[in-house]
Amino acid sequence: MGYEFLAIEQNEGICTLTINSPRTLNALNTQVLDELGRFVDSIGSDVRVLIITGAGKAFVAGADISEMSSKNYEEGLEFGRFGAGVFRRLEQLPIPVIAAVNGYALGGGCELACACDIRIASERAQFGQPEVKLGIIPGFSGTYRLAKLIGQGRAKELIYTGRTMRADEALSVGLVNSVVPDEELLTKVNEIARMIVANAPIAVAKAKQSIAEGYDMNADEAIAFENRLFAECFSTEDQKEGMAAFLAKRLAEFKNK
Ligand code: CO8
């Protein structure tokens, strides 16, 4: 089955997913979330880095307010679980995911960006969790991930006020990794993606796993966990190749083995 609201391009291990529903500023309705979930579940081992961006002037302006407006408790529970589940599966992909935040990243859009590994913003990007203005709270795990990324104090201020944060402020609080002029956004993001693709895929995946899972452990558990993943790298052909290439002063040719 194809996608109505997603545009997908793939080139040399880099897959760019554009959420393409600009009439509603790429708002996340059930169909867009379903397509996103199906796409995440179908990603093959040929994809080494995933880039997510939005068509038009928004990254994603949030969950679809017109669809949510008539929901009751059970439906809110169901919709929240559905969206949060899609974002969790995205977060747990074994490859790095980069959000190329081209414009509004509000509500579910900010939550989507937070579920990615790296966020690069265009100068015109704006971030916010305006849910309380609508009588709800962030429901796609935003209270959890935003607080982890920028600290509880800043997350609370942003969520309680519902105010919007411009790209330079998002950079200053560590919500984004860098800010670039709008016309350079995809060039910059692809540059980062190519640097990642040049590295040993299994090592990159294990680094992601170690950071993600280790973050919620205590220090002893996290260090032991990293140690196990570190040791596992020595069972890969790519570790032999990477070190042999260094010693022979040549470029490594990784095989994802
Ligand atoms: N949902 C539905 N439609 C939207 C949304 C949205 N989130 N955002 C924009 N649109 C629509 C507008 O209604 C408008 O449609 P139309 O042309 O038919 O009137 C069209 O997109 C263009 O938008 P604007 O005319 O408003 O464009 P502006 O440039 O004037 O303003 C803004 C841009 C500031 C981004 C403005 O559109 C806005 O404030 N949007 C809403 C932002 C928002 O509140 N987002 C949070 C939504 S709640 C959420 O994400 C919760 C996530 C967790 C859900 C958990 C479920 C239980």
Ligand 1, atom 41: closest residue by C-alpha: 61
pLDDT of residue 1: 75
Are the CB atoms for 159 and 146 separated by under 8 Å?
A: yes
Are the CB atoms for 229 and 210 separated by under 8 Å?
A: yes
**Residue from 65, 78, 158 to probe ligand 1 pocket by mutation (most atoms less than 8 Å from CB):** 65
pLDDT of residue 172: 98
Residue 109 alpha carbon, nearest atom of ligand 1? 50
C-alpha separations of 199 from 41, 178, 233 in Å = 24, 21, 13
Ligand 1, atom 37: closest residue by C-alpha: 61
**Which residues in the chain land under pLDDT 50?**
none
Rounded CA gap, 78 and 84, in Å? 10
The alpha carbon of 243 and the centre of ligand 1 are apart by a number of angstroms equal to 51
Q: What are the structure tokens assigned to 62, written together? A: 């949030």
**Residue from 24, 141, 164 to probe ligand 1 pocket by mutation (most atoms less than 8 Å from CB):** 24
Q: What are the structure tokens assigned to 152, written together? A: 């509880």
Are the CB atoms for 106 and 130 separated by under 8 Å?
A: yes
The alpha carbon of 90 and the centre of ligand 1 are apart by a number of angstroms equal to 23
Residue 63 alpha carbon, nearest atom of ligand 1? 50
pLDDT of residue 85: 98
196 C-beta neighbours (distance < 10 Å), count: 18
Q: What are the structure tokens assigned to 9, written together? A: 């391009």
pLDDT tens for 177-224 read 999 999 999 999 999 999 999 999 999 999 999 999 999 999 999 999
C-alpha separations of 197 from 42, 100, 151, 181 in Å = 20, 17, 31, 24
Rounded CA gap, 127 and 108, in Å? 10
* Residue in the structure block whose two tokens are 């032991």: 224
pLDDT tens for 55-77 read 999 999 999 999 999 999 999 99
To the question of pTM greater than 0.85 for the whole model, the response is yes
pLDDT of residue 21: 96
Instruction: Kindly state the percentage of the chain with pLDDT values over 70.
Output: 100
Q: What are the structure tokens assigned to 91, written together? A: 């977060």
* Residues recognised as catalytic: 111, 131
Rounded CA gap, 87 and 36, in Å? 9
The alpha carbon of 28 and the centre of ligand 1 are apart by a number of angstroms equal to 10
What length is written for the chain?
Answer: 257
Ligand 1: which residues within 6 Å by Cβ?
24-25, 27, 61-66, 76, 79-80, 83, 104, 106-108, 130-131, 134, 138-140
Q: DSSP character for 94?
A: S
Q: Could you tell me which of 165, 124, 133 has the C-alpha nearest to residue 146?
A: 165
